Amino acid sequence: MYLFLFLLPLQNLQVGYMPKLPGGLNFLNVGFLLALIVAWRIHGGIAKWTRLDRWVWAYLAYCCFALLVGFSLVPAPDDGQRFNAMKDSAIGVLLFFVVQMSVTDWGALKRVLLAMILPMPYILRVTWTQHASVATTDYKDQLRIHGTFALLGANEFAAFCVTMALVMFALLIATKWSKVWRTLLIVGIVIMVLCVLWSYSRTSYVTILLGAAIVVLLWRGRFKLAIPILVALVVVPPLLPNSVTQRWDSTHVDGADVDTSTEERYSYWAVALEDFTRHPLTGIGLGTFADASPYNMDAHNFFIRELAEKGLPGFLITVGLFFAMARVAWRTFRDSPPGSLAYALGLGMCGAWPALVVTNVWGDRFTYAQMIGYYWVLLALCMKAREFALAERVAAAAPVAATPTMRAAPTPPRHALPARLRKALPRPDEASRHG
C-alpha cells in the first residue's frame, strides 16, 4: 500500500513508464488490487463511529445507476471509456476503506503520512522543470503547468497541492513531533506552496488562504502566529512574481469586465441547468455532459454537473457525502486531545474541506483518483486517529488492575493469630455453610 500511495500522484510516471494492460487495466487498478489484498491480510477494521461509509456506498451505487442512464440517454461510440473513467474514479474513493483496514496502530498511521510526503521532492523537480521552460515576467496561459498530473490540468494539480499544504501546516503547528518530522513537514509545505504559485490557479490562491485562515482560527495556539502572519502579509506580496500579480488582477466575475474564462463557465452552467430541467429525477447520465453539451466541454462546476448528470437524488447524495466528510473532520478535531496527532489531522481537514468545496464550484476536483485519492486517505487517517485517541483516553480513565505488589496480603492462619482474634473468625465448616 505504501508504494501505491507513493506513486499515486505521479501520473507522469504511470503514463510514461508503466504499461497499460488489456481491458482498460492500468496502474491504478493493479496497484489498488494489491493494496486491497494486503489490507485483507492485515485484518484491520473499519471505524464505526460515523455514517460516512454509508454515504460513500450510496454515492458509488448511484454512480453505477447514473452510468446506465447515460448509456440509454446519451449513447457514445465507446461506452467502455465512460465505464473505465468511473472505475478509476471509484478507486480514489475506495482508498478510504483500504487505508482504514491497513492502519492498526499509530506507527502504521505515521508510515502512511510518510509515504504521502516522500514524493514531494520529485514533484518539485518536475514542476520546476516545467516552470523554468516557460517562465516570463508577464503572465500568459503557457505558464499554467500541470506538474506530475500528465493527463490533468493546472487546476487539478493545484487543488491537490492545496489539500496537502493545509494538512501539513496543521500537523506542523498543532503537534510536538521530533525535529526530523518537523523538517519533513516544512519542506513539504514549501514545495506544495511553490507548486500552487506556479500553477497560476486563481481558485487555488483563494482556497489555500481560506483553508489556512480556518486552521489558524480553530487552533488553540492561534495567538502564537499573530505576529508571523502580520509580518507575512507585509513582506510576501511585494515579493510575488509580476506574472502572479497579473494573473490575480485579471480576475473579474461580473460586469462588463468579466474575464473570458469566467464568462465561458457561465455558459456551461446554463447548459447544465437546462439538462437538469429536462431530466430532474435521473439526470442525463454519468460522464455524459461533455458529449451532450453544444460546447463539447465539461461544466466546470462539479456540483452543477452532478445535478445535470445524476438528477436531484444523485445531487442530494453528493451533498450528504460532503457534509458527512465535514462531520468526520470536525469530530476528530473536537474529540481529540490538543497537541495530539489526531487533533492535528482533524484541524487540517477542517481547513481542507472548505477549500475542496470552493474549488469544486469552479471545476471538477473530485472524480480524479490522482487528485482526490490523498483526500480520502487523510479522511481514513482521521477516522482511525480519533478511534485510537478515544481508546487511549478510555484506557487511561479505567481503574488500574491490581498488580502482585498491590494485592492484599493473605490472611494469616488461625494459629498465627491471637486467641481473641481466632475466636472472631468463622470456622471452616461454618464458612462453607454460609458461603
Please give the pLDDT value at position 415. 46
| Residue with cell string 516570463 | 136
**pLDDT value of position 433:** 44
Give residue 244's region: left, alpha or beta (phi > 0; psi -120 to 50).
alpha
Give the cell for residue 328: 468526520
Of 155, 160, 165, the residue nearest 192 (C-alpha): 165
Contact in structure between 314 and 281 (CB atoms under 8 Å): no
pLDDT for 151: 92
Q: Is the dihedral of CA 320, 323, 329, 331 positive or negative?
A: negative
What are the C-alpha distances in Å from 62 to residues 69, 167, 285, 326, 406?
Answer: 10, 30, 10, 21, 59
Q: How far apart are CA 334 and CA 389, in angstroms?
A: 12
Percent of the chain with pLDDT over 70: 89
Helices (H), 336-368: 341-361
Compute the distance between CA of residue 70 and CA of residue 73 in angstroms, rounded to an integer. Answer: 5
Residue 25 makes CB contacts below 8 A (sequence gap 6+) with none
Long-range contacts of 262-266 (CB under 8 A, 24+ apart): 264/295, 264/297, 264/300, 265/300, 265/301, 265/362
Question: Which distant-in-sequence residues (6+ apart) come within 8 Å of 428 by Cβ?
Answer: none
Contacts of 355 (CB under 8 A, 6+ apart): 159, 162, 163, 166, 207, 208, 210, 211
What's at 387, amino acid-wise? E
Q: What is the DSSP string of 168-202?
A: HHHHHHH----HHHHHHHHHHHHHHHHHHHHHT-H
Regions in the chain scoring below 70 on pLDDT: 239, 248-259, 400-435
Nearest to 250 by CA among 210, 207, 205, 300: 205
Burial degree of 89 (CB within 10 A; 0-12, 13-18, 19+): buried
Chain center to CA of 37: 22
Per-residue pLDDT, 253: 56
Q: What pLDDT does 395 receive?
A: 83
At residue 435, the pLDDT reads 43
Distance separating alpha carbons of residues 64 and 314, to the nearest angstrom: 11
Residue 17 has a pLDDT of: 87
Question: In sequence order, which residues have a C-beta less than 8 Å from that of residue 73 and are 6 or more positions away?
Answer: 279, 282, 284, 285, 288
